[in-house]
Amino acid sequence: MDKRLWSDKAKSLTPYVPGEQPKHDNLCKLNTNENPFAPSPKVMDAIGAVLANDANTLRLYPEPESDELCSVLADYHGLDTSQVFVGNGSDEVLALVFASFFMKDKPLLLPDISYSFYPVYAQTFGVATKSIALDESFAINVDDYVGECGGIIFANPNAPTGRLMPIAQIRQLAQRHTDAVVVVDEAYIDYADDVSTASAISLIDEFDNIVVVQTFSKSRALAGMRVGVAFANPSLIAALMAMKNSFNSYPLDRLAQAAAIASIQDEAYFQEKRQAVIHLRQDLTAHLQQLGFEVLPSAANFVFAKPSQMPAAIIAEKLREEGVIIRHFKQARIENYLRISVGNREQNARLIEVLTQILA
Ligand SMILES: *Cc1c(COP(=O)(O)O)cnc(C)c1O
């Protein structure tokens, strides 16, 4: 390709590669941790209402700061609106987090195995990183996060391991690194058994250096709408706001704002589907164990599993041939694991059926 007119920056990038989004839908898609259930019917109604209401016409720009959505989120979590920020998917929120807090002289600390977009953002924003190995059980050991740093980021539950780190350890990190921002990416936190004790949102009032990032893409079944959130002390939120308004003033369109508000307002539907996925995860785990897989304890809507009879890469290939897609990472330490999104009952049954054939 002719890159003559590209900037040196553009030439230097190695972009993130998302999981495959197949164009035809006869595949059993368990590769990108989307919700196996539809969004709440109230979300669909809210989108319809936007389109039907002249005052809400798409001819006009949306509210630039998504004020109503921020206020609904603040009420839901018992926070003040000054502690809430929203963006076009949590990927955008994370990009603004990197630009706002991590572009410093000291390196960013992050686990060797975590969301693979973090190193990409680090490269985009010229942030030096220091990768810290997870322990043998794939848990984060906070005692390894020592020394001068320009920030810390990890996913909790971690991806792709699914492991949940206890809140007490997040507290320790924030206490030990008061001059750095600690970012907890809680993309999957709603699949923890007890969300209120698992989420670092409970630490926001106490610590001025914690940012909690969440998304509507997984537990709220709105990956197609692109809504991400950050919760933090107002002074950190102000930095995100300044960065956003130096990049894109209107990150959330009218449909996304209305959909997200309606989703938060349908708590009964949310709880029902979240519990359903947790039960489906337990079922899937038991079936995989019967097939000889070692399955890490997961607090997410996916499991990370190691087969005993056949290399993971081969199983992934054979599943693909049968129309079941899951995720395999060609990465040191985890090349013998498979990340499998929790599907609905039919999808999980199909996966287990095909796996049983492959391993027979
Ligand atoms: C899915 C995911 C995201 C991205 O979520 P979007 O809101 O869809 O951009 C961020 N972090 C982790 C760990 C994820 O798994």
Query: Rounded to the nearest whole angstrom, what is the distance from the C-alpha of residue 188 to the centroid of ligand 1?
Result: 9
Query: Rounded to the nearest whole angstrom, what is the distance from the C-alpha of residue 215 to the centroid of ligand 1?
Result: 7
Report the distance separating Cα 52 and Cα 221, nearest Å: 23
Range name among 15-24, 80-89, 113-122 with the lowest pLDDT average: 15-24
Determine the pLDDT at residue 248.
95
Of all residues in the chain, the percent with pLDDT exceeding 90 is: 93
Report residue 81 as tokens. Answer: 């609106």
pLDDT tier, 343 (very low <50, low <70, confident <90, very high otherwise)? very high
Q: 285-325: per-residue pLDDT in tens?
A: 999 999 999 999 999 999 999 999 999 999 999 999 999 99
What's the CA angle centered on 327, arms 324 and 332, to 5 degrees?
145
Which atom, in ligand 1's list, is nearest to the CA of 223? 8
Determine the pLDDT at residue 23.
78
Q: 238-274: per-residue pLDDT in tens?
A: 999 999 999 999 999 999 999 999 999 999 999 999 9
Q: 300-310: per-residue pLDDT in tens?
A: 999 999 999 99
Q: 48-103: per-residue pLDDT in tens?
A: 999 887 776 788 999 999 999 999 999 999 999 999 999 999 999 999 999 999 99
Q: 151 pLDDT exceeds 90? A: yes
Q: What is the mean pLDDT of the chain?
A: 96
Determine the pLDDT at residue 133.
97
Q: 22 pLDDT exceeds 90? A: no
Query: Rounded to the nearest whole angstrom, what is the distance from the C-alpha of residue 181 to the centroid of ligand 1?
Result: 19
What residue type is 122 in one-letter code? A
Determine the pLDDT at residue 17.
86
If one counts every other C-beta atom within 10 angstroms of the C-beta of residue 320, the result is 15
Report the distance separating Cα 242 and Cα 232, nearest Å: 15
Which atom, in ligand 1's list, is nearest to the CA of 215? 7
Determine the pLDDT at residue 57.
79
Determine the pLDDT at residue 56.
66
Query: Rounded to the nearest whole angstrom, what is the distance from the C-alpha of residue 91 to the centroid of ligand 1?
Result: 6
Determine the pLDDT at residue 21.
84
Q: CA–CA distance from 17 to each of 42, 187, 301 (Å)?
A: 33, 18, 20
Which atom, in ligand 1's list, is nearest to the CA of 33? 1
**pTM tops 0.85:** yes
Name all residues whose Cβ lies below 6 A of ligand 1. Answer: 89-91, 115, 155, 159, 185, 187, 215, 217, 223, 228
Ligand 1 mutation pick, 215, 219, 304, max ligand atoms within 8 A of CB: 215
